Amino acid sequence: MSSLNLDDFTDLIERPDGGVRRDAEARRERLVVPPGSLGRLDDLGEWLTAAQGVVPVRPVERPRVVLFAGDHGIAELGVSARPAGSAELLVRAVLEGGSPVAVLARRLGVPVRVVDMALDCEPEAFPADVVRHRVRRGSGRIDVEDALTLDEAEAAFRAGVAVADEEADSGTDLVVLGDVSVGGTTAAAVLVAALCGTDASVVTGRGGLAIDDLAWMRKCAAIRDALRRARPVLGDQLQLLATVGGADLAAMTGFLLQAAVRKLPVVLDGVVSSACALVGQRIAFRAPDWWLAGHDSGEPGQAKALDRMALEPLLDQGVKVGEGVGALLALPLVQAAASLTAELPEDPALSEEAELPEKPGLSEEAGLSDEAEEKE
């Protein structure tokens, strides 16, 4: 029996400040650029203002990419274009600066943090700050066995909470959240199908490297079999993550919920982070108010999860590589919205009109008339 009470997050998570958002909307009405002319940037700026709780909004100056890494046993079935257990190579490319997310992050001046939760390699392969939260080596094959024990799922969840606290305490003002995994999209699809009550075929995508039809059928069958194991534990989200998730997915779920507690905005990447967000929504219904969908990865499971959370992707560039790349591409858009919201001047005419004193009411005018008559 887990000692972790997930119901606490329902009480701990508040919505972004509605009063501050109304103030931001009122200020927007007075800007020199007409309301609506900036499209979604207006909504984005107002959302960020409410998340920060201050008008005008502060610029996003200390963003960070956080990637949770792990290998999934289900990859042994050939459901991924990458070999099972090869996430180690992906992580190495990130750390050495040769992956897409590393290139973009370097260009944008954003630090990248990798958190190894269940890579299928020796922990000595990476620096201590990467592996210190590791729960196990690889996750179980979810079509026939649990991904984790319940204790491991709790440890992974708590690790995600700890990482969120570390980021909030260090001054990070926005997180780009992604995963580095092999087989992760299969586990994510199972979570989405289970929580949305859909069949395996509805959520089965082709992954980052676009698997062929035969691999897609194997993936669909694996999701179907794992889904049978997931349905009996739908009422317990930690047990669900232990049964068909993985250490990286459990950690991402804990991270997302604690980020909402700490009022730290998060930009979601692809289907894996979206699936974890969906689990988080089931735990605490207000939590998605702190998250943005960075982009549309084309994975049907992601589309299903975002629709359930009423989150609309900021970009649609067909990016499927994962690793937080699509979400990182959306970061300049968020920063642009913050700058426009904070720095565009108010229209002097509108500002003066807003500051004019109210005209006296009918009763006051009548009182003045009576006084004039008495003087006469």
Q: What is the pLDDT of residues 180-236, one digit of tens each?
A: 999 999 999 999 999 999 999 999 988 767 788 999 999 999 999 999 999 999 999
CA–CA gap between residue 188 and residue 245 (Å, rounded):
7
Tokens representing 156? 């992974």
Give the whole-number percent of the chain exceeding pLDDT 90: 81
In the CATH hierarchy, which fold is given to the domain comprising 63-331? Rossmann fold (3.40.50)
Give the pLDDT score at 2. 64
CA–CA gap between residue 7 and residue 287 (Å, rounded):
12
- pTM (2 d.p.): 0.90
Q: Classify residue 273 as exposed, middle or buried by CB count within 10 Å of its CB (0-12, 13-18, 19+).
A: buried
Give the pLDDT score at 360. 52
Q: Which of 157-161, 211-215, 246-250, 371-375 has the lowest mean pLDDT?
A: 371-375
Helix (H, G, I), strand (E, B), or coil: what is residue 201?
Answer: helix
* Helical (H) or strand (E) element with 182: strand 174-182
Give the pLDDT score at 14. 96
Tokens representing 308? 């359930």
For CA atoms 139, 91, 113, 309, the dihedral sign is negative
Contacts of 231 (CB under 8 A, 6+ apart): 194
Give the pLDDT score at 374. 47
**Banded pLDDT at 347 (limits 50, 70, 90):** confident
Let me know the angle formed at the C-alpha of 305 by 300 and 311, rounded to the nearest 5 degrees. Answer: 115
Query: What's the CATH class of domain 8-57+340-375?
Result: mainly alpha
pLDDT in tens, 86-105: 999 999 999 999 999 999 99
Res. 135: pLDDT tops 90? yes
Helix (H, G, I), strand (E, B), or coil: what is residue 33?
Answer: coil
For residue 135, the one-letter residue type is V
- DSSP conformation class of 58: P
**The length of the chain, given as a count of residues:** 376
pLDDT in tens, 250-269: 999 999 999 999 999 999 99
Res. 77: pLDDT tops 70? yes
Res. 20: pLDDT tops 90? yes
Res. 274: pLDDT tops 70? yes
Task: Give the active site residue among 323, 355, 364, 371.
Answer: 323
Residue ranges of domains in the chain: 8-57+340-375, 63-331
Q: Classify residue 56 as exposed, middle or buried by CB count within 10 Å of its CB (0-12, 13-18, 19+).
A: middle
Say if CB 88 and CB 119 are below 8 A apart: yes
Closest CA to 305 of 275, 260, 280: 275
Q: Is 355 a catalytic residue?
A: no
* 56 phi-psi bin (left φ>0, alpha ψ -120 to 50, beta other): beta
**Banded pLDDT at 369 (limits 50, 70, 90):** very low
Closest CA to 200 of 293, 304, 296: 304
For CA atoms 133, 135, 136, 138, the dihedral sign is negative
Closest CA to 57 of 67, 44, 68, 70: 44
Work out the mean pLDDT of the chain and round it to a whole number: 91
Q: Classify residue 95 as exposed, middle or buried by CB count within 10 Å of its CB (0-12, 13-18, 19+).
A: middle
362 vs 301, higher pLDDT: 301
Give the pLDDT score at 350. 67
Contacts of 283 (CB under 8 A, 6+ apart): 6, 7, 9, 10, 237, 253, 257
CA–CA gap between residue 228 and residue 214 (Å, rounded):
22
